[in-house]
């Protein structure tokens, strides 16, 4: 079993705690005065090196904090100036400003692509006898929705509304209507998504989804 501790700092402290007694009477423990003096010099050097290393660690830590703080301040100021450069280029409609400032011009907007078919279409009859519809989808890129309806035994889907929302209230059903089907499709510009799966609403009955795929 080793007498010396495994930690380097503890090794320094081990000898610091014993050198006084060893130097007082080296012969009593089988050592010579020069040997003890040599070890004392080496222990002092080790302590000095440890203190320097600790100071370097503290300085490095403080330097790292300053580095992050100063860089953050610089970046905040720089971003503000870049915004001013871009605003100047846009207000003057001069694209050469970007090359003069050596910053990239704004990228062309990414095309939105075709609209996606609405999902999770659901509906119910409220207390006023109107049908409340809702669905999932996006309103981004000026997307809106068309509601298609078939009443009772009609064979043709009729467009009854266009809404910039993901819900719709149909209060136009005639008295005596016993059943109605709805589909919803998304529109964006000149593009139209496929219609959703039909949902069937019957008076006094919860809505149910069908597996039919009826073309709009």
> Phi-psi category of 152—alpha, beta or left, where left has phi over 0 and alpha has psi -120 to 50?
left
pLDDT digits (tens, 9 = 90+) for 23-72: 999 999 999 999 999 999 999 999 999 999 999 999 999 999 999 999 99
User: Percent of the chain at pLDDT above 90?
Assistant: 79
Give pLDDT, residue 144.
96
Give pLDDT, residue 51.
96
Give pLDDT, residue 108.
80
Question: Minimal CA–CA distance to 120: which of 196, 175, 171, 211?
Answer: 196
Q: Is the separation of the CB atoms in 202 and 129 below 8 Å?
A: no
Q: Is the pLDDT of residue 2 over 90?
A: no
- How far are the Cα atoms of 105, 106, 111, 115 from residue 191, in angstroms, in the given order? 30, 27, 13, 7
Alpha helices in the chain (DSSP H): 8-24, 33-92, 96-101
- The two beta strands, 144-151 and 167-170, are unpaired
pLDDT digits (tens, 9 = 90+) for 123-181: 999 988 899 999 999 999 899 999 999 998 788 999 999 999 999 999 998 888 888 99
Distance CA 199, CA 121 (A): 7
Give pLDDT, residue 113.
84
Question: Minimal CA–CA distance to 187: which of 121, 142, 148, 132?
Answer: 142
């Amino acid at each position: 079993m080793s007498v010396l501790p495994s930690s380097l700092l503890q090794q320094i402290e081990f000898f610091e705690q014993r050198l006084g007694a060893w130097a007082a009477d080296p012969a009593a423990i089988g050592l010579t005065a020069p040997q003890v003096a040599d070890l004392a010099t080496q222990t002092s050097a080790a302590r000095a090196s440890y203190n320097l290393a600790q100071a370097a660690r503290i300085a490095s830590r403080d330097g790292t904090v300053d580095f992050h703080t100063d860089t953050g301040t610089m970046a905040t100021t720089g971003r503000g100036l870049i915004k001013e450069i871009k605003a100047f280029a846009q207000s003057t409609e001069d694209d050469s400003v970007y090359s003069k400032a050596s910053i990239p011009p704004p990228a062309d907007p990414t095309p939105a692509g075709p609209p996606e078919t609405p999902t999770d279409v659901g509906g119910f009859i409220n207390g006023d006898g109107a049908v409340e519809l809702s669905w999932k989808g996006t309103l981004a890129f000026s997307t809106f929705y068309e509601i298609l309806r078939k009443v009772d035994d009609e064979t043709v889907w009729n467009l009854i509304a266009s809404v910039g929302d993901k819900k719709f209230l149909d209060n136009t059903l005639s008295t005596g209507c016993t059943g109605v089907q709805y589909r919803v499709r998304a529109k964006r510009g000149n593009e139209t998504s496929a219609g959703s799966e039909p949902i069937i609403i019957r008076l006094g009955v919860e809505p149910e989804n069908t597996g039919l795929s009826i073309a709009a």
